[in-house]
Structure 1
Amino acid sequence: MTTTPLTYDGLDLTDPEQMEKAVPHDAFRHLRETAPVIWVEQEPEARAGFLDTGYWAVTKHADVAAISKNSKDFSTQRNGVIVRFAPDMTRDQVELQGAMLIHHDPPSHTAMRQVISRGFTPRAIAAIEGALKERADKIVEAALAKGSGNFVEDLAAELPLQAIAELLGVPQEDRGKLFDWSNQMLAYDDPEVEGDEAVAAAEILGYAMMLADDRRKNPKDDIITKLVTVGEDGEGALTDDEFGFFVILLAVAGNETTRNAITHGMQAFFENPDQWELYKAERPATAVDEIIRWATPVTVFQRTAINDVQVGDVTVKEGDRVLMFYSSANFDEDVFEDPFSFNIKRENNPHVAFGGHGAHYCIGANLARREVDLMFNAIADKMPNLKPTGQIRRLRSGWINGVKELHADYS
């Protein structure tokens, strides 16, 4: 058993400059083979809001899955799940994120998730599926009429935004605001994205509170009313802060991640034209999860140990941050056969792109899958011959596998 921290003397695996170039798959492969749990020191500017000097990097699928399921020894509330906040964030500002569902621990997490899940039942998703299919078709038709453009904005971003608006009962004309605000909240490491993350968060919170107030006065048959009023079963309602942070979570997790999954999926098809031909011909049900595995839109989340705990061969001490690198786990050779092949007929695909199968498994996973499926079906039906016209331009981010530009000819 390792008694002193083994230190990785190379890349900070959350370095946004590295992530702007590419996911560091070679480094991840090396660590999976030689030191699957290893201590990484961080420079002070990379530790905004955190009290320690670094983190444990966890790169094997089995360890990531085990930590995801272990709420007894690991907390999301203590330091949140975000591995790199804006460089000038204080500890107090980090702790303000605690109202968000993803930053709660059981039992409060369990109770809040039970309330929020009212809006993501199979019945709720089925109720909007017809509308989402119609929207997917119209999005593709509009891009096709345009002829060419940035795939990210013309195609990948639109359905997630419209789905959020559909779910929340937000006027569709306001979806652009959600797009801009969520971009600004996540892109603090990218100087090309204009805006201030704190101002954007305040804008979303204010907008959400306005929506909540309206639904309390004028209830409707929609998710907002379900969340801000007491349910028929007596379940409590979300507070204004809780609802506001739920909207932030939905705007980020339900918009940015699905948008990037669709974009990376299209890029994978561009790079593997045989798979695009196969998809157009067969539309295998396995394609969606392979696209999501390949994309892994969130590269890493963190937990904080609340007890001394064994992870692999390492004893993690209480208070240490542990980073679960999903973008490594999803390419673990011990779990995925030929993981660096994009294979839309992959049958054994226990990816952790939705956060592993623990208490914090993505509540909107089924909605995300439906959006990806609807978009690629519509693209394959209506613009089967699209092709790239430029190189992909990635987001500079320490934890989002984001894409800013993917230009394509839609004809």
Structure 2
Amino acid sequence: MSAPDIPKIDIISLDQYERSGTPHEQFTWLRKNDPVHWHHDPHEDVPGFWAITRHEDIVFVSRHPELFSSAVRTSMFTEYSDEDIALHQQMMLFMDPPQHTRQRSYVNRGFTPRMINQLRGHIEDITHALIDKVCEKGRAEFVRDLAAPLPLQTICELMGVPIEHADFLFEKSNQLVGFDDPEMQDGPNVAQNAAAEIYMFAQQIADERRKDPQNDIATKLLQPDDEGNLLTDEEFNLFILMLTIAGNETTRTATAGGILAFFDHPDQWARLKENPELMRSAAEEIVRWTSPLNLFRRTATQDVELGGKTIKAGDKVVMFYPSANRDEEVFADPFVFDIGRDQNGHIGFGGGGPHFCLGTHLARMNLSILFGALAERMPDIRLDGEVRRLRSNFVNGYKEIPVAFTPTPRRG
């Protein structure tokens, strides 16, 4: 290949993600020509990293925590101080087996399909109540009015707290994931302060449930398991903090990206309205297409061969999920948005292994219920202004999506 055919590779540029979104052209070139690519870091004092872009390689990294650690320097792209790393390592997302296995076995009890299915009626009620707030106006801001409140109010249902707390969680989660977006940061230490406030919020829930147990997942998580083991207050509080980020942002982003996918592919929106039985496969295709989380990081624990390259112990390894979800070796016509796609082996919920997303069943349910309700109650929903993306190379998120539709009556 001649030099002019080789694109400039920078798949972490904040300007790129804010301006035009996922750099799929670069990802496509990397998958074909250099799938385990040594990538520079824009900060002179920070070493580069291995960019992993093929589906099979990301699955391998995800399923071998003994080779690629989430704990050594956390799962985040950012380089933290040793003090901050020690704090992060107390969260399940930044643990390796066997510590991760122990904590996950505790919280799994609250996230079985049976437990989540009990929430279906509540989620349907929340969805129609959100639509009721805007349906008579004929206009809405999709992120603030629909995409964000649904997962946040669902988390409130999970914890058994009033849904009015969703506004608090919305503000704090924005501050946590918008650490690279000046609009989300109005002063120093905003993200740290937001984390502390959610931590205290969780502690209040724990105190109340121990005094007055309820039929909710918070109570279940605070009860001893079959062997009498308990989550400590700190473990419970940090789990709620993680749930506020991971359980909220991924669903919010998939929902926002999903409605944009339908705006760009009106034939698929018409297809969904005519065939509501496609909602299940549509939810999977939305997650594949949007890839809510752009990347996660691992650190090599020893020298290992991957994709013809030697990754050295201590090297930074970064998995790019949007690239894997457009891998031509895995998906037929990967750049076609097809809500009836069969054999959809996307890794929008992670590449398997110990850190496979705990809330997949809940996320699928949220997406299915909301888009089903939109197809029924706002069938002519359309874009009505400028889309504003989050300035982030971590979350493929959106700040504003103005929409319009024919006004309809409330359900009551």
Same fold flag (TM > 0.5): yes
What residue is the counterpart of 2:69 in the other structure? Answer: 75
Runs of 4 or more above 6 Å deviation? none
Letter of the 2:137 partner, please give it. Answer: K
CA RMSD, Structure 1 to Structure 2 (Å): 1.6
3-state secondary structure, aligned to 2:396: coil
Task: Provide, for residues 276-314 of structure 1, a one-character-per-residue CA deviation record: whole Å limited to 9, x for no partner.
Answer: 000001121311100011110001111111111111111
Q: 5 Å matches for 1:372-383? A: 372-383=367-378
Report sequence identity in percent.
43
Question: Does the alignment pair 1:155 with 2:153?
Answer: no
Question: Does the alignment pair 1:337 with 2:362?
Answer: no
Distance across 1 between alignment mates of 2:32 and 2:240: 40
1:268: Cα distance to partner?
0.6
Q: 5 Å matches for 1:161-172? A: 161-172=152-163
What residue is the counterpart of 2:106 in the other structure? Answer: 115
1:9: Cα distance to partner?
9.1
Question: Does the alignment pair 1:242 with 2:235?
Answer: yes
What residue is the counterpart of 1:27 in the other structure? Answer: 26
Question: Does the alignment pair 1:257 with 2:267?
Answer: no
What residue is the counterpart of 2:218 in the other structure? Answer: 224
1:95: Cα distance to partner?
2.9
1:234: Cα distance to partner?
2.5
Distance across 1 between alignment mates of 2:346 and 2:309: 24
Contact 2:7 2:26 in 1 (8 A): no
1:306 corresponds, among 301, 326, 331, to 301
Distance across 1 between alignment mates of 2:338 and 2:228: 44
1:11: Cα distance to partner?
4.0
Distance across 2 between alignment mates of 1:164 and 1:240: 19
1:360 corresponds, among 355, 359, 379, to 355
Contact 1:9 1:40 in 2 (8 A): no
1:386: Cα distance to partner?
0.9
Choose 401-410 or 92-101, whichever is displaced more.
92-101
2:287 corresponds, among 286, 292, 303, to 292
3-state secondary structure, aligned to 1:350: coil
Distance across 2 between alignment mates of 1:19 and 1:214: 42
Question: Does the alignment pair 1:326 with 2:326?
Answer: no
Distance across 2 between alignment mates of 1:205 and 1:193: 20
Contact 2:90 2:235 in 1 (8 A): yes
Contact 2:49 2:318 in 1 (8 A): yes
Question: Does the alignment pair 1:213 with 2:211?
Answer: no
3-state secondary structure, aligned to 2:339: coil
Question: Does the alignment pair 1:102 with 2:77?
Answer: no
Question: Does the alignment pair 1:200 with 2:191?
Answer: no
Contact 1:355 1:362 in 2 (8 A): yes
- What TM-score do the two structures reach when normalised by structure 2? 0.93
What residue is the counterpart of 1:42 in the other structure? Answer: 41
1:14: Cα distance to partner?
2.0
Letter of the 1:17 partner, please give it. Answer: D
Letter of the 1:148 partner, please give it. Answer: R
Contact 2:149 2:170 in 1 (8 A): no
**Distance change in 2, residues 1:239/1:385 (3 Å):** same
Contact 1:115 1:235 in 2 (8 A): no
Letter of the 2:22 partner, please give it. Answer: V
3-state secondary structure, aligned to 1:78: coil
What residue is the counterpart of 2:268 in the other structure? Answer: 275
Distance across 1 between alignment mates of 2:253 and 2:398: 6
Structure 2: tracts of 5 or more residues without a match? 1-5, 407-412
1:237: Cα distance to partner?
1.9
Q: 5 Å matches for 1:118-197? A: 118-195=109-186, 196-197=190-191
Task: Provide, for residues 105-136 of structure 1, a one-character-per-residue CA deviation record: whole Å limited to 9, x for no partner.
Answer: 11111110010011101111111111111211
What residue is the counterpart of 1:5 in the other structure? Answer: none
3-state secondary structure, aligned to 2:154: helix
1:217: Cα distance to partner?
2.1
Letter of the 2:249 partner, please give it. Answer: E
1:169: Cα distance to partner?
1.0
Distance across 1 between alignment mates of 2:295 and 2:228: 33
Distance across 2 between alignment mates of 1:355 and 1:10: 27
Distance across 1 between alignment mates of 2:38 and 2:232: 39
What residue is the counterpart of 1:389 in the other structure? Answer: 384
Contact 1:84 1:399 in 2 (8 A): no
Task: Provide, for residues 140-196 of structure 1, a one-character-per-residue CA deviation record: whole Å limited to 9, x for no partner.
Answer: 222212321211111111210111000011221111111111100110111112441
Distance across 2 between alignment mates of 1:347 and 1:143: 35
Contact 1:185 1:197 in 2 (8 A): yes
Number of equivalent positions? 395
- What TM-score do the two structures reach when normalised by structure 1? 0.93
Structure 1: tracts of 5 or more residues without a match? 1-7
3-state secondary structure, aligned to 1:322: strand
Distance across 2 between alignment mates of 1:138 and 1:120: 24
